[in-house]
């Protein structure tokens, strides 16, 4: 079933209704034009394409028509309907467009019309030659047993009332907004793409360096080389700093007696001419944050430390 | 809810979402570009540092430069032993001037100092120096 909603049969002589909920509407042939053609087409989309040409000259000019196409047993059924006309009619009967969930056409429920369905007091819906038509009730036989129209007549598929009802935006406004948004989207995409490319340009300097030093192309190799030389650099700088600091401590009255430096540490001994010089040397060592000690029984100062 | 009923809004909404997506894409590109630039800058800086360190500590001319430690002092005072990239040098009877010259030279050479011993004997100096590169 197309929907679980209540199905109303809309016909020209229907009474005014008051609805508080949305409903499905089934239209009688009074609101559509039907053509049945045994066309040699296989798919629905092919049949839909030729629908407008089938109705050429049959429909009222200057009106806008929509088309519904479906397959019947041996032929294709083409229905042309005027949405504006239907909307207008429903409006006069108290049915607002937004209250219409789906529109169905009586022809879609051909098999359900096994007996006539009465339309008001004068007309009835009957099936003649596999087509649902409106006939005067006077034409029905006396022993006719009319059917009660109910939700069981609801076909599987229906159509929606198209238009701007219930919409905050008209099609024109929506199109304008969509164009503007799409334009900005395009701009943002292009900008983003260009930023992405700029990033590639920044890599070029790195590429030049890699080409210049092919032996450093591997990151792991670079890290190994870096670790190796950074260790050597740090240790050797430390050794040289120590020697420079110690050489600054040689002034008048101070003589270098011995000096030993290896990979682990250093040890130096200075001979001072008197206690005053020894004291000054000691202060200098402290200033350089070196561990100085006076050798007992003289004015010699020994400084040692680790690297 | 009947979506077809709100198709106008849906069209505008979809276009808006497309714009939003494009905007986020652009912003993502900007921040990733900034990140990439910082990473690349750091990588280039690290690379240059490695090249500089290699130039100092793996200089092919170091071998020649080390030879000058031998020529700096009169040959009679030097005992020189060089094996591959290792040197052991013993200097005897150096004056303080010669010692200064030698130590300054050693400090300015890009070699790994394995040992540097200086002993004062009377008025002269005895130096033992071991290095590799």
Evaluate whether residue B4 is within a structural domain.
Answer: no
Q: Choosing among B5, B52, B111, B129, which should be mutated to test the A contact, i.e. which has the most A CBs within 10 A?
A: B5
* Number of domains chain B contains: 1
**Would the pLDDT of A1 be above 50?**
no
Predicted interface score ipTM higher than 0.90: no
Best mutation target, B50, B51, B118, to test chain A (most A CBs within 10 A): B50
Q: Give the pLDDT band of residue A161 (cuts 50, 70, 90).
A: confident
Residue B93 lies in a domain: yes
Question: Which of A37-46, A154-163, A258-267 has the least mean pLDDT?
Answer: A154-163
What CATH number has the domain bearing residue B122?
3.30.70
Exposed e or buried b per residue across A123-145, where buried means at least 16 C-beta atoms within 10 angstroms of its C-beta: bbbbbeeeebbbeebeeeeeeee
Residues A13-17, mean pLDDT to the nearest whole number: 91
| 8 A C-beta contact, residue A31 and residue A15 | no
Number of helices (H), then strands (E), in chain B: 3, 4
Would you call A218 an interface residue with chain B, using a CB distance cutoff of 8 Å? no
pLDDT tens string A179-206: 999 999 999 999 998 887 766 666 777 8
**Is position B5 within any domain?**
no
A97 pLDDT above the threshold of 90: no
Average pLDDT, integer, range B65-88: 91
Flag whether B3 is in a domain.
Answer: no
Residue B114 maps to a domain = yes
Q: Do B57 and A233 touch (CB under 8 A)?
A: yes
pLDDT at A191: 92
Which pLDDT score, from 0 to 100, does residue B2 have?
A: 56
CA distance A262 to B113: 7
Question: How does DSSP classify residue A109?
Answer: G
- Chain A contact set for B47 (CB, 8 A): 206, 209-210, 213, 216, 222
pLDDT of residue A204: 77
Instruction: Identify all chain B residues contacting A255, using CB atoms and an 8 Å cutoff.
Output: 120
> Is the predicted pLDDT of residue A289 greater than 90, yes or no?
no
Interchain CB contact of B60 with A (< 8 Å): no
Give the pLDDT of residue A61: 86
* Burial of A287: CB neighbours in 10 Å, binned 0-12, 13-18, 19+: exposed
Interface contact flag, B54 A222, Cβ < 8 Å: no
Tell me the C-alpha distance between A240 and A244, whole Å: 6
Q: Do B11 and A247 touch (CB under 8 A)?
A: no
| Residue B127 placed within a domain | yes
Q: How far is B58 from chain A (nearest CA, A)?
A: 9
Q: Is the residue at B6 inside a domain?
A: no
Q: Is residue B111 part of a domain?
A: yes
Q: How far away is chain B from the Cα of A282, in angstroms, using its nearest Cα?
A: 21
Identify all chain B residues contacting A168, using CB atoms and an 8 Å cutoff.
8-9
Q: Whole domain around residue B54: which residue ranges?
A: 11-132
Average pLDDT of the segment spanning A214-231? 88
In the prediction, which pLDDT does A2 show?
A: 47
Q: What is the enclosing helix (H) or strand (E) of A192?
A: helix A171-202
Mean of all residue pLDDT scores within chain A: 88
- Residue B34: is its pLDDT beyond 90? no
């Amino acid at each position: 079933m197309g929907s679980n909603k209540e199905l109303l049969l809309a016909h020209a002589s229907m009474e005014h209704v008051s609805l508080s909920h949305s409903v499905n509407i089934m239209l009688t042939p009074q609101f559509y034009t039907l053509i049945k053609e045994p066309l040699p087409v296989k798919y629905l989309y092919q049949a839909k394409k030729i629908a407008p040409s089938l109705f050429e000259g049959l429909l009222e000019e200057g009106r806008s028509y929509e088309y519904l196409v479906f397959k019947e047993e041996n032929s294709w059924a083409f229905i042309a309907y005027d949405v504006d006309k239907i909307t207008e009619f429903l409006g006069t009967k108290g049915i607002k467009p937004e209250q219409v969930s789906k529109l169905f056409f009586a022809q879609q429920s051909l098999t359900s019309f096994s007996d006539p369905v009465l339309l008001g007091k004068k007309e009835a819906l009957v099936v003649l030659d596999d087509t649902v038509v409106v006939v005067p009730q006077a034409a029905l036989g006396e022993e006719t047993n009319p059917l009660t129209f109910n939700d069981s007549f609801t076909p599987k598929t229906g159509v929606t009332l198209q238009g701007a009802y219930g919409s905050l935006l008209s099609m024109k406004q929506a199109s304008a907004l969509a164009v503007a948004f799409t334009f900005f989207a395009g701009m943002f995409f292009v900008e983003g793409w260009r930023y992405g490319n700029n990033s590639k340009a920044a890599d070029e300097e790195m590429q030049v360096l890699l080409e210049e030093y092919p032996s450093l192309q591997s990151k792991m190799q670079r890290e190994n080389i870096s670790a190796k030389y950074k260790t050597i650099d740090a240790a050797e700088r430390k050794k040289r700093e120590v020697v420079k600091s110690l050489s600054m401590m040689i002034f008048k009255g101070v003589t270098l007696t011995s000096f030993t430096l290896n990979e682990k540490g250093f040890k130096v001994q200075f001979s001072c001419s008197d206690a005053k010089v020894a004291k000054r040397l000691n202060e200098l060592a402290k200033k350089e944050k070196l561990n100085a000690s006076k050798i007992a029984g003289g004015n010699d100062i020994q400084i040692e430390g680790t690297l | 809810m009947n979506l077809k009923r709100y198709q106008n809004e849906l069209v505008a909404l979809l276009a808006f979402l497309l714009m939003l997506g494009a905007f986020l894409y652009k912003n993502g590109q900007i921040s990733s570009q900034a990140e990439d630039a910082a990473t690349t800058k750091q990588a280039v800086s690290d690379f240059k540092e490695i090249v500089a360190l290699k130039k100092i500590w793996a200089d092919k001319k170091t071998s020649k430069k080390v030879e000058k430690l031998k020529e700096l002092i009169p040959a009679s005072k030097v005992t020189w032993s060089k094996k591959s990239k290792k040197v052991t040098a013993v200097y005897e009877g150096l004056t303080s001037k010669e010692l200064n010259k030698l130590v300054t030279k050693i400090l300015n050479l890009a070699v790994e100092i394995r040992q540097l011993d200086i002993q004062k004997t009377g008025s002269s100096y005895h130096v033992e120096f071991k290095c590799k590169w």
